[in-house]
Amino acid sequence: MSEECRKVLRVLKGETISPPPIWLMRQAGRYLPEYRETRSKAGSFLDLCYSPDHAVEVTLQPIRRYGFDAAILFSDILVIPDGLKRNVRFSEGTGPEMDPIDVRGIRALDGKDVVSHLAPVLETVRRLRAELPVETTLLGFCGAPWTVATYMIAGRGTPDQAPARLFAYRERQAFEHLLMLLAEISADYLVAQIDAGADAVQIFDSWAGVLGEAEFEAFAVKPVARMIASIKERRPQAKVIAFAKGAGYLLKTYRQRTGADAIGLDWSVPLSFAAELQREGPVQGNLDPMRVVAGGEALDAGIDAILQTLGNGPLIFNLGHGITPQADPENVATLVRRVRAQGG
């Protein structure tokens, strides 16, 4: 069997498949008891990300349980600032933290050893490709420069990323330098993941939705376009999914302006608009993760609406953002069954 049996990869090349392939963002995570067991053995969250034994295991767990059509590398978007020596740490209950960066710190950044620092992650990719079923697409990923930069500026997550937005207005030159450095490092990292065995890669811009129109162009579109151009120049066959959460109407030209092969859609994107976007190429999404928590009629209705509106075009069924720890694993099983039955 060749890679042509990998359904997600076929959709990324523009094919319509019925029923559509399915995977879920954060499909390896705290809602699964087997993940919690492995996590307890690994030490810190970064230890889990940097241990190929543990990272391979948690990546494979949802594949064994549900038979998803894709596995996504278990890691975190903040391994890049960790490689930049920003003292990244994950505290239980408070989320990720790191040393906030200023203009002087941005000027001092040196990205030349970051991909070497991430060698354990690339080893995880190599081992996953060897251990996954041949029909399962392997996805690599990284954070988009804007989203990674928001954490680097504030030193933590914030509700509306006001620290990064304010810094960008006051220190535009330094901020754009940071974005372009992150774009360069991130492109190198994704190429390394592809070379290690990833079939395709996803760029997560989880905080794109806080940007105004001009800032979206400068901080979300431009760096991602630079990344994708760099990746495709070196690996012309590479397939890239770009996910700009919360971007709304600005998604209308996002695919064309970034060069992405597919665009991920969050649950706030109207299905009528999603259908417009699908006419120009593959889309991925966009079930509200809360429907998976609710289960029952809410889950069934959400699945059916997406399949009825988008099922006749190139679609990768997914959530509109990551699955939450409150999700019942049985509801996930129901979701997979219903998608594969074309909505029942």
As annotated, the active-site residues are 26, 30, 39, 76, 151
3-state secondary structure of 262: strand
**How far apart are the C-alpha atoms of 194 and 62, rounded to whole Å?**
22
Closest CA to 30 of 4, 61, 72: 61
Which two tokens mark 67? Answer: 């038979």
3-state secondary structure of 284: strand
In the numeric block, the tokens 């209950």 are attached to 93
SS (H, E, C) 239-289: CEEEEECCCHHHHHHHHHHHCCCEEECCCCCCHHHHHHHHCCCCEEEEECH
Which two tokens mark 127? Answer: 């081992």
In the numeric block, the tokens 């988009």 are attached to 144
Measured torsion, CA atoms of residues 189, 191, 196, 202, in degrees rounded to the nearest 10:
80
